[in-house]
Amino acid sequence: RSINGCPLLRVMGHHTWLYVTSHYVIILRYLLYDVNPPEGFNLRRDVYIRMASLLKTLRKEGDWVLVLPPWGRLYHWQSPDIHQVRIPWGEFFSITSLQANIPVIEYEEFIAESGGPFIDQILVLQSYAEGWTDGKWEEKVDERPCIEKLLYSKDKQGYYRGWFWGYEETRALNVTCLSAQGHASILAPVLQNNLTTTSVMLDRAETVLHDHYAGKDYWDTRRSMVFAKHLRIIGDEFRAKYLNSTDKQDQTPYNEDWTQMKNRLGSAKGGPYLGVHLRRKDFIWGHREDVPSLKGAVKKIRSLMKKHKLQQVFVATDADGEELAKLKRMLPEMVRYEPTWEDLELLKDGGVAIIDQWICAHARYFIGTSVSTFSFRIHEEREILGFDPKTTYNRFCGDDEKECEQPTHWKIVY
Ligand SMILES: Nc1nc2c(ncn2[C@@H]2O[C@H](COP(=O)(O)OP(=O)(O)OP(=O)(O)O)[C@@H](O)[C@H]2O)c(=O)[nH]1
Ligand SMILES: *[C@@H]1O[C@H](CO)[C@@H](O)[C@H](O)[C@H]1NC(C)=O
Ligand SMILES: *[C@@H]1O[C@H](CO)[C@@H](O)[C@H](O)[C@H]1NC(C)=O
Ligand SMILES: *[C@@H]1O[C@H](CO)[C@@H](O)[C@H](O)[C@H]1NC(C)=O
């Protein structure tokens, strides 16, 4: 491996790579992270943005690379009989696109180039045991005793073992807890000054907030999260075949190079169909008042189709078999992307979710589900494509919801 044309040297005995420029010897450091196990795919995509922001801060004073945490064992990915662990990011996202924003490597590349499956230091992020002192919010970070039981345990050799994305051979040399309250980059001084290890992993990375939500840096990273090409192709073929939707007709040109993409707001027309994201499962179990009944949702879908003179409706949903059958009876004309078992095995639940999102992102009009991060990611994708915000920031209302506040429009900062 070389960086900026400089060769990397391996220092014997240390799992450390150096590269030599004309004046300096610079140590390459690795930032790894993981997220609270119950969190879903789309929230994890959000945490990536926070970590990318931290990495940019770290790189002002050193050479850091972000190691992409493999996907897998997500609570929602329940398709039986298919292998869904150790999935590299390249199966869902375009790595070259990510790399045009920050240097990233897959976990297996980290193992190969850092000298094996060893992580020098894990910092488990947590809040403060005492909460906010005097009810006053302040940004701070301190090494503290662990509040919750550690999800890592020591083996006979004294190494820490844990989940590590299904890589059983991975070991950590040290685990400590860090109470943190504030935006992601408050961790930078600790990583730069208090630690000298080559690799550092932040666990429970969702604990820290965005440096600047919806600012330029946020959007640069978000725009770099281009879906993997094979998934976009499947989505595009489906649009053409079943929804009479092509980029040319719909005025949704896409540039492989996200840095060159700047579609004017309102320039996208979208395919002649209504796009729907109907989140069910855990969203209805709690009888939330901001989520409609199926009957309520179908009524809204029909009225939107009429209003926008659309003959077709594409539905993305995680509804279970029983609800789906009910929905089909009430809305027989709905179009869905239904992978065969072979497709599913190849694409995984994550790939299918992305194809659903991609198709919803190209609809002439979109309506999603209240506070679903799955719907939020569709909003962003449509913003990138250049849709009029009126066609994007819409959600279903609960049947008896009185004040049905609609989603916020977050404009891209280029
Ligand atoms: N294919 C497909 N999968 C869906 C759909 N809605 C939800 N899912 C699945 O359910 C998971 C849960 O939704 P996510 O939004 O990712 O999870 P989350 O981060 O907990 O976010 P919330 O929606 O806010 O719960 C997704 O990752 C998908 O695997 C859908 O419309 N289509
Ligand atoms: C980092 O080091 C500084 C200076 O030595 C110290 O004051 C601070 O408490 C340390 N922070 C953490 C989180 O260890
Ligand atoms: C583990 O990490 C903490 C925090 O950086 C440090 O104080 C401690 O000395 C380390 N322990 C070992 C055995 O390296
Ligand atoms: C597809 O859309 C084009 C224009 O957008 C239209 O001319 C054509 O009739 C449509 N075809 C079908 C089968 O609806």
Mean pLDDT of 332-351: 94
Give the ligand with the smallest distance to the CA of 120. 3
In the predicted model, is pLDDT for residue 3 greater than 90? Answer: no
Output the residue whose Cα is nearest ligand 2's atom 6.
194
Give pLDDT, residue 83.
78
Of the residues 39, 206, 380, 381, only one is catalytic, namely 39
3-state helix, strand, coil in the chain (%, to 5): 35, 20, 40
Which pLDDT value is given to residue 130? 84
Q: What is the pLDDT of residue 20?
A: 57
Neighbours of 414 (CB within 10 A): 10
How many other C-beta atoms lie within 10 A of the C-beta of residue 25? 10
Confidence of residue 137 (pLDDT cuts 50, 70, 90): confident
pLDDT in tens, 272-293: 999 999 999 999 988 789 999 9
**What pLDDT was estimated at residue 96?**
97
| pLDDT value for 71 | 94
* Catalytic-residue membership of 256: no
Sorting pLDDT into bands at 50, 70 and 90, what band is 151?
A: very high
Q: What is the amino acid identity at position 1? A: R
Q: What is the pLDDT of residue 274?
A: 98
pLDDT, mean of residues 28-39: 94
The DSSP code sequence of 246-297 is -HHHHT----SSGGG--PPTT----EEEEEEEE--THHHHTT-TTS--HHHH
The model's confidence at residue 1, banded by pLDDT at 50, 70 and 90, is: very low
Beta-strand pair 271-278/363-367: parallel
C-alpha 308: how far from chain center: 31
Strand partners, 177: 124
Report strand pairing: 63-68 vs 140-143: unpaired
Q: Any residues with CB less than 8 A from the CB of 111 and at least 6 apart, and which?
A: 117, 167, 170
Residue appearing with tokens 């990611």? 377
What pTM, to 2 d.p., does this model score?
A: 0.92
HSE toward the beta carbon, residue 321, CA cutoff 13 A: 1
Whether residue 208 contacts residue 39, with contact meaning beta carbons closer than 8 Å, is answered with no
215, 290, 365, 379, 389 from 412: Cα distances, Å:
8, 27, 19, 11, 11
Structure token digits, residue 49:
């943005």
Please, what is the average pLDDT of the chain? 92
What is the torsional sign of CA 358, 360, 365, 370?
negative
pLDDT of 80 strictly over 80 = no
Percent of the chain with pLDDT over 90: 85
Nearest ligand 3 atom to alpha carbon 174:
1
DSSP assignment, residue 311?
S
Average pLDDT of the residues in 378-382: 98
Supply the DSSP symbol for 67. E
Answer yes or no: is pLDDT of 195 > 60: yes
* Per-residue exposure over 232-270, b if at least 16 CB sit within 10 Å of its own CB, e if not: bebbbebbeeebebebeebebeeeeebeebebeeeebbb
Distance from Cα 378 to the centre of ligand 1, integer Å: 11
Query: Among the listed ranges 63-77, 114-128, 256-270, which one has the minimum average pLDDT value?
Result: 63-77
Q: Give residues (CB < 6 A) around ligand 2.
A: 141-143, 190, 193-194
The per-residue pLDDT for 8 is 52
Of 125, 181, 194, the one to substitute when testing ligand 2's pocket (max ligand atoms within 8 A of C-beta) is 194
Question: Looking at this protein, which amino acid is placed at residue 153?
Answer: S
Give mean pLDDT, residues 39-57. Answer: 96
